[in-house]
Amino acid sequence: MFVFQRFLKKIPSSATPLQHEKCRIDKWLFAARFFKTRSLAAEAIEKGRVQVNGVRAKSSKTLNEGDRLDIRIGEYRYHVNVLALSNRRGSAAVAQMLYQETEESRIARQELTEILRMQPRLEVRGRPTKRVRRNLQRLINGE
C-alpha cells in the first residue's frame, strides 16, 4: 500500500501558477496570453508598451504577485493586477487565473471596441491605379 501512495500524488502541471518563484515579465506576458510569442512580448516591452507599477520595464524584470501592469496592444490598453506567476503557457482558463483586469480598463476597452466598430472601413484592394494616384496627389498637394 505504501508503494502505491507515491504514485497517487498529483504531479503539478508545469502550466499551473508558481508559488513564490521568480518570473520574467516577458515569460509571464506570454503565459498569460497577452502575446502569441515570447519575442512579441519582449518587443512590446522594449518599445515601452508595457509598464510595471507605472515604470517602464525591461524584459528581464522580475515580476511579483500584486504588481500592476499597464499593457498597450494596438489601440487597446489593459490595466491588470498580477495574481499569480507562471513561466509556462497553458490553457486559456489557466491564463485567466494569472491576472485580474481592473473594471475601468474593461469598460474603456468595450467603449473603444464600439467606437472602432462604428467607424467606416477603408477597403483597399491592391495597388492604386494611375488615375487614383493622381487624384490622391491632387488632394494632398491642394490642387
20-71 tens-digit pLDDT: 578 999 999 999 999 999 999 999 999 999 999 999 999 888 999 999 999 9
CATH T-level topology, domain 18-116:
3.10.290
pTM above 0.75, yes or no: no
List the domain boundaries for the chain: 18-116
Across 37-46, 86-95, 121-130, least confident range: 121-130
- The DSSP bridge pattern shows strands 55-56 and 99-101 to be unpaired
> In angstroms, rounded to a whole number, what is the distance separating the alpha carbons of residues 108 and 2?
56
